[in-house]
Amino acid sequence: MQISIDHIKEDFRFLESWEDRYQYIIDLGESLEPLGADEKRDENFVQGCMSSVWLVIKETGDGTLDIRGDSDSAIVRGLIAILIAFYTGVPRSRFKGRDASLLFSDLKLETHLSPNRRNGLHAMNSRIQSRASAE
């Protein structure tokens, strides 16, 4: 079941401690279906992440993208889940108008993630944005 970005934002506001929020992020990551070994190939690998990250991004036919991802880090899997929720159902033509950095700021991820994790988060977002503007 795909969780909405509005639901994630609401849950973040409800959770008071960052320990609880980190656990929530991990739980979001656990809800992702793992990628198969055949999908963990170079073309899906995201450069710029401290952890190993793969994103599989495909056109759906209705103008949106199907985004799936995986990582060897529990926290990063959760960050992938947040990005997927942020972009799910959004037409590719509107991706450029969506600013994930505002989302990261709203959730206070910018200040509570290590610089390496923030860089990885931005690398994943850049990969999605790049794919949306391709084709």
Number of domains into which the chain is organized? 1
Segment 111-124, tens digit of pLDDT: 888 888 888 888 99
Q: Among 28, 49, 75, 124, which one carries the catalytic annotation?
A: 49
Residues 40-90 have pLDDT tens digits of 999 999 998 889 999 999 988 888 889 999 999 999 999 999 999 999 888
Structure-model confidence comparison of residues 94 and 36, the more confident one = 36
Place of tokens 């190939």: 41
Rounded Cα distance, 54 and 18, in Å: 26
| Entry pTM | 0.92
Half-sphere exposure of 90 (CA within 13 A, CB side): 22
Query: CATH no. for residue 92?
Result: 3.90.1010.10
Taking CA 104 as the corner, what is the angle to CA 88 and CA 35, rounded to the nearest 5 degrees? 45
- The residue segments making up the domain with residue 23 are 5-133
Active site residue 106: no
